[in-house]
Amino acid sequence: MMLSRQQVRLARWATVSSLFTVLVALNGVFVRATGAGAGCGRSWPFCYDSLLPPTLTWHTVVEYGHRILSALAFALVAYTFWLARKAYSPRHPVRQSATAALALMITETLAGASLVIFDWVVHNLTWGRVVIMGVHLTITHALVAAVALTAWFAHRPQVTWKPLEPGMRRAFWVGFFLLWATAVLGAETALNEVVDHWQALGALPPEYEGPARFVRAIVWVHIVFGVTLTLYLTWVTRRWKDLAGPARMWKTVVVWGAWLQLALGAFNWWVVRMTATVQMAHLLLGYVLWIGWWYLFLERQTESGKAVAAGSAPKRTRVYGEVNP
């Protein structure tokens, strides 16, 4: 199918939106790892109650820069949604994923604002921050998935689906759960930086002792989940020997990405101890795995995602292809 000029523009901007959303998520890690979360005080969306920062310290530049990038990401997602509304009917996957992306971007913006307003940044280690870290990570992963799916469907607006075998569908959803759980545990593990800070000063404030014990214990749970995830993705994909086309490529990305992610995680914790650069690389690989698993899931259901044996009977298919006139 030849895409119209409008559809080509949508596909291009959806891809840019997807990449930029990941960039903003990585920049958020940089803000936290550099301790710049309070760079604009407890003022949001302005900086110290001003449109432009009254002073330019390093932390203010980092935090204010993150807010500018976040605003640009919001604009990109909103523009992609507007293009999708013009090009596709409400029931088309491009339109649905673009709508989900915009809703999640709004939710993500509010979650980010709560971190600042409630002072859940820098050296705060209350239970509120522990909870919001997991919530924030979950919303971000859902947002990244939504914008990535918008880009995938925009490039392939007429897809012929082949239903997955029950066992394979179950395997994919187990993979989604392990990827999400490992990422959430990793976000909680990162709070050990705050524990290290207070212990370096001599002692934790009494109200932080409970959360500190929790995030210390989470480290080993995160490690167990990380190893389990890597072994599971390797084992389950090795059984899928009939993949073809892009599905085979994404299988390779997932397997090699999982092992590299595990190695980088070990390096991050035991060698360099949570530097901002390594944390950002660790998270980037996490998003590559997350998007790669979604793309493998989608590609496996397309006509080109499975090598069909000669003489085999075709399975029932379903085509999405409604476009606005």
Specify if 325 maps to a domain. Answer: no
pTM, entire model: 0.91
pLDDT of the residue at 306: 57
pLDDT of the residue at 272: 59
Phi, psi of 312 (to 5 degrees): -75, 150
Domain that holds residue 269: 5-308+316-320
The tally of domains found in the chain comes to 1
Sign of CA dihedral 278, 70, 184, 62: positive
Residues in the chain: 325
pLDDT in tens, the chain (325 residues): 577 888 999 999 999 999 999 999 999 999 998 889 999 999 998 899 898 898 889 999 999 999 999 999 999 999 999 999 999 999 999 999 999 999 999 999 999 999 999 999 999 999 999 999 999 999 999 999 999 999 999 998 887 778 788 899 999 999 999 999 999 999 999 999 899 889 899 889 999 999 999 999 999 999 999 999 999 999 999 989 888 889 999 999 999 999 999 998 888 777 656 678 888 899 999 999 999 999 999 999 886 555 543 333 344 445 455 445 4
Residue with the two structure tokens 């980037």: 284
Distance CA 50, CA 91 (A): 42
Specify if 194 maps to a domain. Answer: yes
pLDDT of the residue at 276: 80
pLDDT of the residue at 309: 39
